[in-house]
Amino acid sequence: MKELVGRPGSGSGLVLRLGQVSCAAASIGIMVSANGFATFTAFCYLIASMGLQVLWSFGLACLDVYALRRKRDLQNPILVSLFVVGDWVTATLSLAAASSSAGIVILYARDMDFCTLQFHLPCSKFQISVALAFLTWALIALSSHVMFWILLNSV
């Protein structure tokens, strides 16, 4: 179980964290570049949630770099419990943010057909940003499950 892909303090763990940081940062960047995003509460919440995700994942990526350089083992139960709780909280917030934004995007693009009727709406940017938010959630859910398995096998 020590060799689980994506475990903390490993190369694959670092890649997973950097993937989360880059997807969340890209989601924020694309949303911020879309005109009029600030009129939608859900899109502002998406930015806040992805911002928190960037901070959390970047912090853990730095910890992974430290562990890799100093060859430290990060797999003690207390530290892994902290990672599980943090991953669970950020995953929940990310899923809620991505889903609420997706609700609006589907309403505009499919239900109301506003995206073809109102050309000034940057619908494609909204869609890409939401898709990246879901990708971020999938990556953080993966991390969360890896931590859960490590915790299960370390108690």
Binding site for a copy of itself (CB under 8 A): 39-42, 92, 95-97, 99-104, 106-107, 110-111, 148, 151-153, 155
Nearest approach, Cβ of 139 to a copy of itself (angstroms)? 15
d(C-alpha 87, C-alpha 143), whole Å? 7
d(C-alpha 100, C-alpha 82), whole Å? 27
**CB nearer a copy of itself, residue 101 or residue 129:** 101
Instruction: Find out whether 52 and 24 touch, Cβ atoms under 8 Å.
Output: no
**CB nearer a copy of itself, residue 71 or residue 155:** 155
**CB nearer a copy of itself, residue 5 or residue 38:** 38
**CB nearer a copy of itself, residue 14 or residue 102:** 102
Query: Residue 33 carries which side chain, given as an amino acid letter?
Result: S
Nearest approach, Cβ of 111 to a copy of itself (angstroms)? 6
d(C-alpha 61, C-alpha 49), whole Å? 18
Nearest approach, Cβ of 1 to a copy of itself (angstroms)? 12
Q: Angle at the Cα of 20 (from 16 to 22), degrees rounded to 5?
A: 115
